[in-house]
Structure 1
Amino acid sequence: MIADLGNEKRALRAELRQRRRTRTTTEREADTDSLTATLQRFAEERQVRSIALYLSAPDEPNVRPFLNWACAEGIRVLLPVTREDGLLDWAVGDGETEREGVYGVPEVVGEVLSPLAINDVDVIFAPAAAVGHDGVRMGWGRGYYDKTLGSMANRPPVYAVIFDAEYLDQVPREPHDEPVDGIITPSRIITFRS
C-alpha cells in the first residue's frame, strides 16, 4: 500500500514538474505579478509582521518580488537553511545574498538560527508540488517541511504557495504528510480551517 502511494506520488510529481518546466515566459511573468499582489494582500489584511518564506527556484511560483516588498515594509523574514539531518534551520534574510544548498535549492546566507526560530512567526509560506482540497500538501519528496511542521507543538498558520492548476481534488497522502491551513495561488487565497 505505501509502495503504491510512493509510486503514485512520484508519477504526480513528475507530471507537475513537467508542467512547470513548459510554462512560457509570459505565463511566468503574469503569475509572478498576480502572486505578488495576492501575497501582499494576505500580509496586509492579516497585519503580518513576521513570516517564514523560502527562496523560490526558477520553476517554482516566484515569491522573490514579495520577499523584496516584505523586507521594504519592515516585515521580519526567516528563510530556510537545510540540514543534513533532514530538518530546517532558519536565517533572517532579505534574499540578496544566497548560495546553492542541499539538492541545489537556493538558500540565504546569513546568521543561522535554530529550527525553533520559526515558532514565533505570524505565518509560514511553504513551497509545495500540489495541495488537495482537504489541505493535504504534497512536497517534492525530501520531507523537510513535513518534519519541521510535524515537530511543532503550536505552529503558526501554514499556507502552501502553488500555481492555480496545482490545487487538486486530492493528492496521495502518507502518514508523515502534514496538512496545511490554506493555499495562496496567483489568483486566490483559500483557508481550509481557522
Structure 2
Amino acid sequence: MIPDPGNAKRALRAELRQRRRNHTSTERETLTAQLTATLERFVEERAIRSMSAYLSSNDEPNVRPFLNWAFAHKIRTLLPITREDGLLDWAVGDGATERQGLAGMPEVVGEVLSPLALGDVDVILTPAAAVDQHGIRMGWGRGYYDKTLGSMAKRPPVYAVIFDAEYLDEVPRERHDQPVDGIITPTRILTFRS
C-alpha cells in the first residue's frame, strides 16, 4: 500500500504527462495508426453497435481517427459532457462539432442525454493516465469517470485507452478509484475479468 496516494498520484501523473509530451510527431503518427487499428479490431471482434468514448486532447492517445471510423460505420457513440456536480452527461456527436468543456477538455456539441444513457452502451472507453495489473485506473485527477462509474448499479464493460508503457505493476489507489475491465493500447487488448 502506498502511504500517501494523493501525492504519489500527482507525481506519477506529472511523469506520465511529460512522457506523453516527449513523443515525436513521427512517434505520435505511428502510435495513432496502431491504436486506431487495435480499437477497430476490438469493436469488430465484439460486434459492438454502441459505445461511449471521448474526444482526446493533445496529450492523450489519439482516438479521433477511430471515432471517425466508428461514425462512418454507424456505431452509436456517446461522448461525455462535464457537469458542475462532477458527473458526466452524454451526447451523440456528429464527429465534427466540439467546444471546450468545464475542465478545459474538448467536448461534443449535440443533444444532451442523462447519465443513465451510459447504461445502454455495449462498452465504455475511458481515458486514463495509467492502469495497473489489478485493473485499477488512475485518471487525471478530476474524478468525473470515477464518480460516473461509481454511481452505476450495473455497468457495461469498461476499457481504458492508454499507451503501452502506462500499463504498470501498481498505481496509487484511493477509496473512490473505480477499476476497469481491461485496457486497449496501440499494441494490445487486455481483459482483466469477464
What TM-score does the superposition give when structure 2 sets the normalisation length?
Answer: 0.98
Deviation at 1:93, TM superposition (A): 1.1
RMSD: 1.2
The whole-number CA distance in structure 2 between the counterparts of 1:141 and 1:53 is 18
Tell me the alpha carbon deviations over residues 18-63 of structure 1, each in whole angstroms, 9 at most, x when there is no partner. Answer: 1111110011000000000000000000000000000000110000
Residue segments in structure 1 that go unaligned for 5+ positions in a row: none
1:71 and 1:172, CA in 2 relative to 1: closer, same or farther beyond 3 A?
Answer: same
Deviation at 1:2, TM superposition (A): 8.8
The whole-number CA distance in structure 1 between the counterparts of 2:3 and 2:85 is 23
Aligned to 1:116: 116
Counterpart amino acid of residue 146 in structure 1? D
Residue segments in structure 2 that go unaligned for 5+ positions in a row: none
SS in 1 for 2:174: coil
Tell me the alpha carbon deviations over residues 46-87 of structure 1, each in whole angstroms, 9 at most, x when there is no partner. Answer: 000000000000110000001000011110000000000000
How do 1:169-180 and structure 2 match up within 5 A?
169-180=169-180
Q: Is the contact made by 2:77 and 2:92 (CA closer than 8 Å) also made in structure 1?
A: yes
Identity over aligned pairs, percent: 78
How do 1:1-194 and structure 2 match up within 5 A?
4-194=4-194
Q: Is the contact made by 1:2 and 1:174 (CA closer than 8 Å) also made in structure 2?
A: no
What count of residue pairs does the alignment treat as equivalent?
194
Q: Is the contact made by 1:88 and 1:144 (CA closer than 8 Å) also made in structure 2?
A: yes
SS in 2 for 1:107: strand
The whole-number CA distance in structure 1 between the counterparts of 2:50 and 2:61 is 20
